[in-house]
Amino acid sequence: RMLYQVTDKPKYKQAMENIEGYFKSVWDSRSNTFYQGAHYINGQWIPNDSNFAVDCQTWAIDVLGAEKIDSWFGEGAAYRMWQETKQLAGYFSNGRLLGVGYTNEHDQISVEWTAGAILGLKNLAISYKDTHPDWANVCIKEAQDMRALFETLKKKSDGKAAYPYSLKREFIPFGWW
């Protein structure tokens, strides 16, 4: 999108439209989420529905924005996608959402993927503040709760700080440990 805006070259507009077409083809209307990926077979994208991926949801919100997602799949589609994501992969304690894992799990927090979720929640809050302030407030609260957890995970040594990649080491169904 940005390359087309800067260069005005039709090939970048076409690339953007192709990418958007791909996103539309990997929407699962039953779950209100994007499939984890797809395979291009005989000129068609065939969705991979064997695994749920949190980052496919949060990246979509972060990059496409709620307005675009809602324009394709109906008002509130991005918010419903987030609701489904946290139900499938949220890490909850005392009713508070503290982070997200990678897939269908509730005992794992990925710091990186939670950071993507926090950004997505901030974007959702901005998008829905005028039309659905109740949704925006939920998004802000969840982002704050997840960000607060980060500080409990921080490790300090020799004046430097780092965060673990996840709470525990385990197989992730997308091909890595």
Helix (H, G, I), strand (E, B) or coil at 79: helix
Can you tell me the distance from the alpha carbon of 137 to that of 159, in angstroms, rounded to the nearest whole number?
Answer: 36
Mean pLDDT of 136-151: 95
Can you tell me the distance from the alpha carbon of 151 to that of 154, in angstroms, rounded to the nearest whole number?
Answer: 5
- Quick: pLDDT tens for 69-119: 999 999 999 999 999 999 999 999 999 999 999 999 999 999 999 999 999
Encode burial over 16-43: b for 16+ CB neighbours within 10 A, e otherwise: eeeeeeebeebbeeebbbbbbbbeeeee
* pLDDT at site 171: 75
- Quick: pLDDT tens for 22-34: 899 899 999 999 9
Pick from 36, 24, 17: nearest CA to 72: 24
